[in-house]
Amino acid sequence: MPVWTLYGLKQGKVSQRWPAVGGDDGQSGVLGFPRFDPAQCQSGCRDCADACLPQAITLKEGGGVNVDYGRCVQCQLCVTACPSGAFTLSSDWAFGVRAREDLVWAQAANSAAGQMLKREIRKVFGRSLHVRHVDAGSCNGCESELQALNNPYYNLHRLGVFFTPSPRFADLLLVTGPVTYAMKGPLLAAYEGMPEPRFVMAAGTCACSGGTNGGGYACGRGLDGLLPVDVWLPGCPPNPAAFIHALLMLLQRLPQRVRGGHLMEDGDGR
């Protein structure tokens, strides 16, 4: 066994300082949500909406399109379909928001900053948050990235966030998947088992809206109307840095970056 200790020491420290200054978030080259610029739209064109399987892009009555990032699975087909460059590739992935409306594209990003969480959250949970994860029918992409949070690169423990087996010890219920008929009961039981104050994160596009997989004979459409959601985090799946951003945003240790479907450079300052 000492040989493993020696081997481990020889590997050196690989954990990143991110989100502290100078840290690497590890997402070089990873695509985020397509950016939308309606000024480039051609009138009467519906190519993007026709190319969008989860109906994140829908036609507006009277022309133009609605874009809901809470439904987007980042397949990037709209970018290819658009003849005029209204949708462009981006690396915008820090899409955790407190209010679901902030995922819907708006001309001016002037919606009020997301609703304040209970004021004490930073004081009570700021240094230690315990998370109970429930898979309500995911494709396992979200689980793969959640498991990555505890690898030495992201090393979630350094930020004081821990996964816990029992809902009785959990502060946050982190839900993935569109909620299948069979997982609805166990999911609600896990929520009921949590002490208050308790928080809920809809993680991944499935949990936000059902994405491509929701609906049908066996699935719901995510957590909307099922549980009181404190943070919505779309992404298919959200990458580990996006998960970390959303967790720290819940704790008011990082600002919300997205408002009205726009990624802000400096966030909302909280």
Partner 1 sequence: MNAPLLQDLAPSQLPERARALLESGGRLQMAYAWFPDGAIELRYLAAARPKVFEIWRVRPENGTAPSLAAVAPLLSWYEREIADLCGVRFEGHPEPDPLVLLPGARASAPPLTPGADLRIDYTPQFARLPEIAGPDRADVQVLPFGPVRGDVLESAQFLFLYIGEAILHYLPKLFFKHRGMEKRFEGLNAPFAPVLAERVSGVDSVAHALACCQALEAAAGCAVPPRAHWLRVLLAELERLYNHLHYLGHLCHTTTLKVGEAQGKYLEELAKQINGRLAGSRFLRGLVIPGGLHREPRLDGLRESLARLQEQFAPYAEMLETSTTHLDRLITTGVLPRRTAFDQGATGPIERASGLDRDLRRDHPYAAYDELKFPVALRTAGDAHARQQVRLAEIESSLALIRAVLDELPEGPVHAECTPPPGSEGLGWAESPRGSLYYAVHVGSDGRIARMKIKSPSFSNWRAFPFTVHDTNMMDYAIDEASFGLTVAGCDR
Note the residues at the interface with partner 1 (CB under 8 A).
Answer: 1, 3-5, 7-8, 11, 14, 26-31, 51, 53, 73-77, 80, 89, 133-148, 150-154, 163, 165, 177-178, 180-183, 185-187, 189-190, 211-213, 216-219, 236-237, 239
Whether the Cβ atoms of residue 260 and residue 108 lie closer than 8 Å to each other = yes
Closer of 64 and 152 to partner 1 (Cβ): 152
Whether the Cβ atoms of residue 200 and residue 227 lie closer than 8 Å to each other = yes
Closer of 29 and 269 to partner 1 (Cβ): 29
- By CB atoms closer than 10 A (0-12, 13-18, 19+), residue 14 is exposed
Residue 6 Cβ, how far from partner 1 at the closest point, in Å? 9
Closer of 67 and 117 to partner 1 (Cβ): 67
Residues forming a β-bridge with 180: 219
Residue 106 Cβ, how far from partner 1 at the closest point, in Å? 26
Closer of 18 and 101 to partner 1 (Cβ): 18
31: alpha, beta or left? (left if phi > 0; alpha if psi -120 to 50): beta
**For residue 124, how far is the Cα from the chain centroid?**
23
- Note the helical H segments in 33-99: 47-50, 77-81
Residue 95 Cβ, how far from partner 1 at the closest point, in Å? 16
Closer of 153 and 255 to partner 1 (Cβ): 153
Closer of 162 and 267 to partner 1 (Cβ): 162
For the chain, the straight-line distance linking the first and the last C-alpha, in angstroms and rounded, comes to 46
Residue 190 Cβ, how far from partner 1 at the closest point, in Å? 6
Residue 244 Cβ, how far from partner 1 at the closest point, in Å? 13
CA-CA distances (angstroms) from residue 176 to 29, 112, 134, 156, 222? 25, 27, 7, 18, 8
Residue 75 Cβ, how far from partner 1 at the closest point, in Å? 5
